[in-house]
């Protein structure tokens, strides 16, 4: 995170989006781990929840890359 003051009354705050990237990577990994474990145990509901977490994590990771400057 960078704070810059181009003039005495203005502050600019820029964030690289690293936290969103890490949260997305964790969600992606945890979601697909849940899918693999659900397939091994033949649990359909847990597999669907894992798929939703995996997709949400991928979206978070991709959106953090789009916001990084």
pLDDT of residue 15: 63
Of residues 34 and 7, the one with the higher pLDDT is 34
- The answer to whether residue 7 is domain-embedded is no
Domain residue limits at 51 = 16-67
Q: Could you give the CA distance from residue 15 to residue 21 in angstroms, rounded to a whole number?
A: 12
The model's pLDDT over 18-53, given as tens digits with 9 standing for 90+, comes to 777 788 888 888 888 888 888 888 888 888 888 888
pLDDT of residue 34: 85
- The answer to whether residue 1 is domain-embedded is no
Instruction: Indicate left, alpha or beta for 43 from its phi (over 0: left) and psi (-120 to 50: alpha).
Output: beta
Report the number of distinct structural domains present in the chain. Answer: 1
pLDDT of residue 65: 62
- What is the C-alpha end-to-end distance of the chain, expressed in Å? 11
- The answer to whether residue 2 is domain-embedded is no
**Among 52, 67, 69, CA closest to 21:** 67
Question: Is 60 exceeded by the pLDDT of residue 5?
Answer: yes
Q: What is the mean pLDDT of residues 6-18?
A: 71
């Amino acid at each position: 995170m960078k704070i810059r003051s181009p003039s005495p009354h203005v502050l600019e705050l820029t964030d690289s989006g690293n936290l969103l990237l890490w949260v997305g990577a964790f969600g992606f990994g945890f979601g697909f781990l849940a899918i693999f474990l659900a397939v091994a145990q033949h649990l359909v509901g847990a597999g669907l929840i894992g798929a939703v977490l995996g997709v949400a994590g991928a979206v978070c990771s991709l959106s953090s890359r789009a916001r990084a400057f």
